[in-house]
Amino acid sequence: MTALVFVEHVGGVVDELSLQALTFARGYDDDVEAVAFGGTPAVTGVGTLHVAEIDGYAPQAWARAIASLAPTTVVAAGTDRGNEVLAHAAAMTGGVFAANVVRADGDAVTRQRWGGSLLEEARLHGDVKLMTVAPHAVAIEEAAGEPAVQPFAPELEEADLVARVVERVDTSTGGLSLAEAPVVVSGGRGVGSAEGFASLEELAGMLGGVVGCSRAVTMAGWRPHTDQVGQTGTKISPDLYIPCGISGATQHMAGCKGAKKLLAINSDPEAPIMATADYAVIGDVLEIVPAITAELRRVRA
């Protein structure tokens, strides 16, 4: 049996989450191959690297390319593209697709529900199995060995190219994005108002980070949806996450599971977030955050 890993890369450098997927695949099967699009990434530790000659992103065409390799097991990172391409490939191959798997052995998988706040133990029935790996569920283990590179031009159906990217629009306002920031300072209902976020913005700026918010804040109209951290917002994985006045509902925690360290600032010592936070300060957000920025200024002076 061979596990075929769909590897994402930017300019030849393999994506961190795809490296996790490769590690997962090596744990699942002895024989691992990879498939990539738009150039030849520097993959190691696989027997063969198939490089599909397709210009631009068209999920159905990419899935067709994967399906044409007649795999029995397909693995990818649980990114937007990974999930999308594998779902197409499942529909094409008649395979069974489990998204965001954290563990697998044969046809037994454990996958995430509720953005990771709940796990499902399941059984895969079918000759072709497709799995995406939940981000940060697997620690990267590099493996050596240069693959044999096999470029190929898959036979595509006309319908495969209908949905394809025709243009890319840059919407960034400059500066760090929420998904990439090393530090995120988030505010919830406890911040009290849109104006209350000013002190959070100051703190984030001083720490080289950005401001996020909870869903309640977005629905109250205090901040745009692009600032929302959570299961239906942006999923973040900063070095340090500082949620302020956020109680820790599961849908919010699903968005910040990737955070390396979490410092919660909340007036309620029994809030659910305290069970996940590494550190906590108890009290009023509007008093504590300015005190921290003041202390930072003092120490830096």
Partner 1 sequence: MNVLVCVKRVPLTGGKMVLTADERAIETRHLGFTISPHEECGVEEAVRIVEAGGGSVTVLTLGPPEAEEQLRDAMALGAERAVLLETDGSDWDPEATAAALVEAIRAEEAQPDLIVFGNESADSGGFQVGIRVAHALGRPIVTGVKALAVEDGALRAEQEVGSARDVYRVPLPAVVTVKEGINLPRYPSVPAKLRARRKPVERRTPAGAAPRLEMVRLVVPEGRGKQAEVLGEGPGAAPAVVELLQKLGIA
Partner 2 sequence: MIASALALAAAVAVAGALFARRVLLLGRLVRMARPPGIDRTDDVPDRVRAEAVVVLGQRKLLQRLVPGLMHAFIFWAFIVLFPAIFIAMIEIVAPDSAPQWGWYDALSDAFCVLALIGVATAFYIRKVLRPRRFAGSHLGEADLILAWIAAIVTTLLLLHATDARVFAWAHVLLILGFLAYLPHSKHLHIATAAINVYFGRTRARGRLEPLRFDEDAPEEDLRFGIGSVKDLTWKQMMDAFSCTECGRCQDACPAYATGKVLSPKLVVMGVRDHLFAEGPKALAAGEEYDGPAVASHGQLEEMVWDCVTCGACVQACPVNIEQIDHIVDLRRHLVMVESRFPAEAEPMLRDVERQGNPWGKPQAERAGWAEGLDVRVLEPGDPVPEYLYWVGCAASYDERAREGARSTAKLLLAAGVDFAILGPLEACTGDPARRMGNEFVFQAYAEQNVETLNETGVTKIVASCPHCFNTLANEYPDFGGRYEVVHHTELLAELVRDGRLSPAKGEQEITYHDSCYLARHNDVRAEPRELAAAVGTPVEMDRREERTFCCGAGGAHMWMEENAGAINEERVREAAATGAGTLAVACPFCTVMLDDGVRSRGDDLRVVDLATLLAEATDT
Q: Which positions from 125 through 184 interact with partner 1, judged by CB under 8 A? A: 125-126, 132, 159, 162-172, 177, 179-180, 182-183
Burial (0-12, 13-18, 19+ Cβ within 10 Å), 146:
exposed
Among positive and negative, which fits the CA dihedral 153, 157, 158, 160? negative
Residue with Cβ nearer partner 1 (73 or 132): 132
Of the candidate residues 270, 298, 299, 300, the single one contacting partner 2 (CB under 8 A): 270
Q: Which does 150 bind (CB under 5 to 8 A by kind): partner 1, partner 2, none?
A: none
Q: Which positions from 181 through 220 interact with partner 2, judged by CB under 8 A? A: 189, 192-194, 216, 219-220
Residue with tokens 């401001």: 211
Q: Which positions from 252 through 271 interact with partner 1, judged by CB under 8 A? A: 261-264, 269, 271
Letters for 70-109 (x = contact with partner 1 by CB under 8 A, - = none) are: ----------x--xx--xx-xxx---xxxxx---------
Q: Are 214 and 227 in contact (CB under 8 A)?
A: no
Residue 30: Cβ within 10 Å count: 10
d(CA 50, CA 152): 7
d(CA 37, CA 8): 8
d(CA 182, CA 161): 37
Of the candidate residues 269, 298, 299, 301, the single one contacting partner 2 (CB under 8 A): 269
The length of the chain in residues reads 301
State the number of binding residues for partner 1 (CB under 8 A). 95
Q: Which does 268 bind (CB under 5 to 8 A by kind): partner 1, partner 2, none?
A: partner 2
Closest CA relative to residue 62, chosen from 72, 51, 73: 51
Q: Does residue 190 touch partner 1 according to CB under 8 A?
A: no
44: which strand partners? none
Task: Give min distance, CB of 283 to partner 1, in A.
Answer: 4
Where does this chain bind partner 2 (CB under 8 A)?
A: 189, 192-194, 216, 219-222, 247, 249, 267-271, 284, 287
